[in-house]
C-alpha cells in the first residue's frame, strides 16, 4: 500500500515555493514512484509554475521547474 498526498497551492510570492520545498525536503528520501518501468508508471514529482489564471484574459501556466522525486535512473 502507498499513501499519497496531492496539493495544488497558489502563492503570492515565488519565495514561498522555496519555503515549501525546504519544509518537505526531510521527507523526500521516503518517497516512491509507482510502477517504475511499466506503462502505468506514476512519478512522484514537484512542479513550480508561473500562473496567469488571475489575469483577464487568463493565460496558461508556464512551468518554471519540474523535478521527478526520486530522479529517474
- The domain of 39 spans 14-68
DSSP 37: T
Mean pLDDT of the chain: 90
Is the model more confident about 69 or about 16? Answer: 16
In a domain, 42, yes or no: yes
Q: What is the pTM of this model?
A: 0.74
Please check whether residue 4 lies inside any domain of the structure.
no
pLDDT 10s digits, 27-60: 988 898 899 889 999 889 999 999 999 999 999 9
Does residue 3 lie in a domain region? no
pLDDT band at 72 (very low <50, low <70, confident <90, very high): low
What percentage of the chain has pLDDT greater than the value 90?
55
Per-residue model confidence (pLDDT) at position 33: 87
Amino acid at each position: 500500500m502507498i499513501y499519497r498526498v496531492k496539493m495544488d497551492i497558489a502563492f503570492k510570492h515565488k519565495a514561498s515555493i522555496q519555503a515549501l520545498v525546504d519544509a518537505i525536503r526531510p521527507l523526500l528520501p521516503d518517497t516512491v514512484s509507482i510502477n517504475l518501468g511499466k506503462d502505468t508508471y506514476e512519478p512522484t514529482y514537484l512542479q513550480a509554475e508561473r500562473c496567469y489564471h488571475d489575469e483577464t484574459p487568463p493565460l496558461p501556466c508556464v512551468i518554471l521547474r519540474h523535478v521527478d522525486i526520486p530522479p529517474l535512473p
